[in-house]
Amino acid sequence: MPHIQINDTSIYYEDSAPDDKHKPVMVFAHGLLWSTRMYDKQVAHFQDQYRCIAFDFRGQGQSQITKSGYDMDTLTEDAIALLKALNINKCHFVGLSMGGFIAQRIAIKYPEMLLSLILLETSADPEDPKTAPKYRKLTTAIRWLGMKRVSKKVMPIMFGSSFLEDKSRKAEGKEWLAHMQANHKFGVTKATMGVIERKGVYEQLGDITTPTLIIVGDEDAATPYPKSERMHFAIAGSKLAVIKRAGHTATVEEPEQINTVISHFLQCCV
């Protein structure tokens, strides 16, 4: 799959139907420490009806590690530049966690480019002052020790207990641990600091008129239910869905529930 040069950065992306000009477009923006891989089961489910595009943010996955540009506004401009480079005028934009921070900013600043907004496991607020110091320490540990040494401590932040304690999914858990460990320490520390230092957009959510679906796992420790409910009340007409037995990476933990909820939303509300 190709890389594309935008904003002085080489961005990796996957396009399920690059030559199809008729299918509606779904764009998938991943969460911190992950890549396009976290949406594999969503792309497999939706690609018959939609042109599915997933991409890696700078510093993560297979995209270029740059010296700067990890703030949420620059990452938003990266996403918009990618859409424009691919001649996409409108799309359904799916963002999980960090990808959701970007999705909200697109809905606020570039609403004309969205058919719908789908926010998973995310928040409109700045990083919680109670958790920020812990994440800063984690970032320092990654910088000095590497991702592999700290990855097992991060897994309970990323996944719920139902997934982690399910013996039948032990091999799957190891696979995702390996994905996390594959992160380059310099890219991921820069990306993590961008997340920690982000500004909130809650006060602007009332400006969003795009049809919006908000999804949260009932075991999400990183962005628990009240953060999703807060966005739901602020975005007029938005829908809120809770995924059972899922933590902060519900697209992996409970893909069938996620696909069903998104499908219903697209059929009924858009």
Mean pLDDT of 63-71: 97
Residue 230 is classified by DSSP as H
- Determine the 3-state secondary structure of 11 from DSSP: strand
The encoded tokens of residue 45 equal 């489910």
Cα 251 off chain centre by: 10
**Domain CATH number, residue 197:** 3.40.50.1820
pTM over 0.85: yes
Helix (H), strand (E) at residue 269: helix 255-269
Split at pLDDT 50, 70, 90, the class of 1 is low
Split at pLDDT 50, 70, 90, the class of 191 is very high
Q: Which residue has the higher pLDDT, 142 or 194?
A: 194
Q: Which residue has the higher pLDDT, 183 or 37?
A: 37
The stretches of 63-166 forming alpha helices (DSSP H) are 72-85, 98-109, 132-145, 147-158, 161-164
Mean pLDDT of 207-214: 98
In percent, the amount of the chain with pLDDT more than 70 equals 99
Residue range of the domain that includes 131: 3-269
Split at pLDDT 50, 70, 90, the class of 270 is low
126-140, 163-177, 247-261: least confident range = 126-140
The encoded tokens of residue 128 equal 């919680």
- Averaged pLDDT of the chain: 95
Mean pLDDT of 211-236: 97
- Which single residue is written with the structure tokens 């933990």? 253
According to the per-residue pLDDT averaged within each range, which of 129-138, 140-149, 150-159 is highest?
A: 150-159
In percent, the amount of the chain with pLDDT more than 90 equals 86
Helix (H), strand (E) at residue 171: helix 170-181
Sheet of 25-29, strands arranged across: 3-6, 9-15, 51-55, 25-29, 91-96, 114-120, 212-217, 239-243
Burial of residue 102, with CB atoms counted within 10 A of its CB: 0-12 exposed, 13-18 middle, 19 or more buried:
buried
pLDDT digits (tens, 9 = 90+) for 82-118: 999 999 999 999 999 999 999 999 999 999 999 999 9
The count of domains in the chain is: 1
The encoded tokens of residue 261 equal 């909820």
